[in-house]
Amino acid sequence: MSPHPAATPTPPSHPNPMALTTHPPLQLRARPPSLAAAHRRRALLPPRRARPCRCCAGADAGKAQARRAYPYDEIEPRWQAHWEERRTFRTPDIGDGLDTSRPKCYILDMFPYPSGAGLHVGHPLGYTATDILSRFKRMKGFNVLHPMGWDAFGLPAEQYAIQTGTHPKTTTARNIDRFRMQLKSLGFSYDWDREISTTEPAYYKWTQWIFLQLLKRGLAYQAEVPVNWCPALGTVLANEEVIDGVSERGGYPVIRKPMRQWMLRITSYADRLLEDLDDLDWPESIKEMQRNWIGRSEGAELEFCAVDQEGHDLGAKLTVYTTRPDTIFGATYLVVAPEHVLLPSLTSEEQRAHVEEYTEVAARKSELERTELQKEKTGVFSGSYAKNPATGEIIPIWVADYVLASYGTGAIMAVPAHDSRDHEFALKYELPIIKVVSPPNGNCDPEEAYADDGIMINSSSSSSGLNINGMLSQDAALEVTSWVESNGFGKKKVNYKLRDWLFARQRYWGEPFPVIYLDDTNEMVPLTENQLPLTLPELDDFTPTGTGEPPLTKAADWVRTTDVLTGKPARRETSTMPQWAGSCWYYLRFMDPKNSSTLVDKAKESYWGPVDIYVGGAEHSVLHLLYARFWHKVLYDIGVVSTKEPFKCLINQGLILGEVEYTAYRDNEGKWVSADSDSSLSDCIQEKVPADKITKVGDNYVLKDDPNIRLNARAYKMSKSRGNVINPDDVVSEYGADSLRLYEMFMGPLRDSKTWSTGGIEGVHRFLGRTWRLVVGAPLPDGSYKDGTMVTDVEPTFEQLRVLHKCMARVSEEIQETRFNTAISAMMEFVNAAYKWDTQPKSVIDSFVLLLSPFAPHLAEELWFRLGHAQSLAHEQFPEAKNEYLKESEIVLPVQINGKTRGTILVDKECSEDDVFQIAASDDRLSKYLDGKAIRKRIYVPGRILNVILDQQKART
């Protein structure tokens, strides 16, 4: 295939940080080039570090050989500089050299938040996988879009800035530089010309533009809602950012309080978000998580009139939502959320102090804590009652934090006989439990709530005229719904667990809202599109105000403004958008990152969309992915994008855990206690044991000095607190980037969690060293290597081609199925076979180097050049296996005597029946059954079996 247009020399997009010296031209042993060709190759080859003088090299040769299996420290910086200087992986734009007649493949990583800690070895797992796929697709003739950017707004940068007094803009830029340098050191084939950051005004101009479109369509609004407020951080937190009543970041107390906030009406898209999941090539577990998060249910809204203890009407009606209207006769009390708007009017004077104390405690809990199924249910009586419309009975109204104001109506009818939470609550507070559903088989545990469908019992009332006794649950639910609708007590209702998206944060480091408020009327006025971007002011003091007011209120000159249409004085919105905003649509900007006149060009979006392969962690399965799908559907509705979904195929990579930690136990006297001991280990002292002091016996790990002492062995998620974080910079320095890439893919299936092992990376490093020596030869006495290769221009044998093409077929299939570990195994098998050959034919080695290149691109590029090629292999054609070399010429054939298998023979696939029989007759194991015997007939199924039927009668005579 002809070289990609990006192969032509052009100025690099980023300066190369590595100063490299020029090395002499390589002398190629195989197929010596013409002088002109040699000059062309020297012009394309990156400079090589100068070798040390002979005396110095001799002194350090032994040490260098022990440290590295091949000269990766020279090869990798050289080829990274080459790719950058020539923009090898640049993807041209439509109209700028992109051949749109070729198929496209958009491969995307979930872009990182650039923290000050930099990458750890868990990050490159997904990045390496997408890089292998990208390199493979380019070589298969696809136009590949493989970009990288930064999700850089958000709380972590702001908190660091507050703690250090450094502006978040400064720390963010520094962190991005570090991440970029680390990614480049791993040889990822990103198109750096398309790099974006969510903090750049040219980017968030379009985030603000999208918000204005949401506002125009009524999908953005303001509301007074209960929020997780953290006074120490000075911001609202999402439910997922609150753990056990404190902030995930910093561990500060969090309270629930009502605040006026921007909301996005994601619930308007709930059905579409649910229905379109079926068409996505995503893990079923992720789709199920989104289905559960959306939580669509069908039921009814029922009205209960509030009354006092004597049944006098209090003038208030409580609306409850239930998915089981059939159980209305079993409703023995109502429960309202502590935030319910009617609670103050429902609370009696006798109970007011108790209710206020309870609601204050509930305000300090997150929604996740309140709805935890295992937690003990708590509540308090409001002092008021309600009338059950079906029975006419007076039932108490309670307050409990397991009911949320944000779900349904914030009130439920409690049916303790048929709901486990209500049952637990009723037992604790001695409330009535009335069974109204009987299992079809009549069997159920009387001590537990029965939550399934069945046959209705105890469900009739002469006063209300409703009788559903004997009906099946589903029929009874329809009957009750019809009854309440006809009597004005309620209506049929579809409900969702999904709530509207709380889309505001009281912090500085985020996108400003493009709206103002008129001073005289407080009317909200959106900015015009030509006023975008509204940039953040330079603020020296961005610490929390302590009052709930956002830090932007301190930028008085920025806050005060004028409405351009009326000239009236106005003020800006001082809350900012959440970090999720910029990550909702970044995949679209990569298609057209420099466009200043529109979010994305229609032709570019139509060609590149949707993302073909999206790789990232499962922790983003709900929030980011659901929010991005929501925004994408809005953009689809207004004609910005041409597809209903943003991400066609989703792959979740597993975690890389730290190295296995071995824990032993000592008693109070300092004696070892085995981990499988009958005595309690809780009183023992835990002690970490180094790996060199343990050994494995069967499935267990024991002390070398005392095999009777079993240890606990466990790998943990990498974290600073455990001290088990592996820095990829250290791994690259010791083993090379190709070894790190190869090891992370070889550890196991991409989607599984894996445990880091330094011994494992040493193994793949040795494999790359063997590959290098197979092609280049053994090192010279000074530790250096001669130029050129050991390959020859001989014609390959049929067996060599068979080994190569089997490797080709397997590697190609395994890459496409993302089974990278088995693809690497196939290449290891090839190298093992090639070492047994008398010669290494150039045509065979050429093909193998191309197979290796997506996995170990630096080594492959160096070998490709030494093999006499003038251009980078990045856009060479990926080798295709030919069927004639994949057919096995010999097979193992079972041989039966009188229908009983007596052995097997090795025969050619095309062997005739007579030849097969002769081979069987001459086989030592089979001949004893045939010698001197009369044969009645032979049954031969080619490729399957040979069955020899003996003439038993003649055999006896």
In CATH, what number is assigned to the domain containing residue 915? 3.10.20.590
SS3 call for 640: coil
Same domain, 693 and 736: no
Q: Which of 701, 722, 743 is the last residue of a domain?
A: 722
- Pick left, alpha or beta for residue 410 (phi over 0 → left; psi -120 to 50 → alpha; otherwise beta): left
Query: Does residue 63 form part of some domain?
Result: no
pLDDT value of position 954: 53
CA–CA gap between residue 70 and residue 64 (Å, rounded): 9
Total tally of structural domains belonging to the chain: 5
pLDDT value of position 243: 77
pLDDT value of position 430: 96
pLDDT value of position 38: 37
pLDDT value of position 2: 37
SS3 call for 52: coil
Same domain, 858 and 735: yes
How are the residues of the chain apportioned to helix, strand and coil, as percentages rounded to the nearest 5?
35, 20, 45
- Tell me the DSSP string of 524-549: EEEPPGGG---PPP--S--S--SSS-
pLDDT value of position 240: 61
**Cβ atoms of residues 132 and 815 within 8 Å:** yes
CA–CA gap between residue 192 and residue 12 (Å, rounded): 9
CA–CA gap between residue 813 and residue 816 (Å, rounded): 5
Structure tokens at 231: 């006074």
Same domain, 464 and 512: no
Same domain, 475 and 446: yes
Q: Which of 464, 496, 528 is the last residue of a domain?
A: 496
**Cβ atoms of residues 768 and 742 within 8 Å:** yes
**Cβ atoms of residues 647 and 701 within 8 Å:** no
CA–CA gap between residue 85 and residue 561 (Å, rounded): 47
Same domain, 328 and 443: yes
- Which residues of the chain are modeled with pLDDT < 50? 1-44, 46-66, 955-957
CA–CA gap between residue 868 and residue 887 (Å, rounded): 32
Query: Which residues, in sequence order, are CB contacts of 316 under 8 Å at separation 6+?
Result: 305, 306, 342, 345, 346
Query: Which residues, in sequence order, are CB contacts of 672 under 8 Å at separation 6+?
Result: 664, 665, 666, 703, 706, 709
- Tell me the DSSP string of 76-127: HHHHHHHHHHHTTT--PPTTTT--TTS-EEEEEE-PPP--TT---TTHHHHH
Residue 278's Cβ-count burial label (10 Å; 0-12, 13-18, 19+) is: exposed
Neighbours of 545 (CB within 10 A): 15
Number of residues that make up the chain: 957
Same domain, 328 and 430: yes
Query: Does residue 738 form part of some domain?
Result: yes
CA–CA gap between residue 96 and residue 480 (Å, rounded): 66
**In Å, what is the CA distance from 276 to each residue of 100, 280, 455, 809?**
28, 7, 35, 35
**Cβ atoms of residues 419 and 382 within 8 Å:** no
Q: Which residue has the tokens 């399957």?
A: 944
Same domain, 258 and 341: no
Query: Does residue 632 form part of some domain?
Result: no
The three-state (H, E, C) secondary structure of 673-702, written as one string: ECCCCCCCCCCCEEEEECHHHEEEECCEEE
Report the chain's C-alpha Rg in angstroms.
36
Same domain, 476 and 513: no
Q: Which of 840, 858, 885 is the last residue of a domain?
A: 885
CA–CA gap between residue 578 and residue 586 (Å, rounded): 15
Same domain, 349 and 477: yes
Same domain, 305 and 442: yes
CA–CA gap between residue 921 and residue 906 (Å, rounded): 13
Look up residue 812 and give its amino acid.
Answer: S
CA–CA gap between residue 71 and residue 23 (Å, rounded): 14
CATH of the domain at 849: 1.10.730.10
Neighbours of 273 (CB within 10 A): 23
pLDDT value of position 371: 72
Query: Does residue 192 form part of some domain?
Result: no
Query: Does residue 474 form part of some domain?
Result: yes
Domain extent for 411: 296-496
Measured between its terminal Cα atoms, the distance across the chain in Å is: 74
pLDDT value of position 238: 66
Query: Which residues, in sequence order, are CB contacts of 399 under 8 Å at separation 6+?
Result: 335, 336, 337, 338, 340, 343, 355, 358, 359, 379, 380, 381, 382
Query: Does residue 334 form part of some domain?
Result: yes
pLDDT value of position 116: 81
Q: What are phi and psi of 634, to 5 degrees?
A: -65, -45
Residue 716's Cβ-count burial label (10 Å; 0-12, 13-18, 19+) is: middle
**In Å, what is the CA distance from 490 to each residue of 409, 458, 468?**
13, 22, 17
Same domain, 371 and 414: yes
Same domain, 717 and 737: no
CA–CA gap between residue 584 and residue 513 (Å, rounded): 16
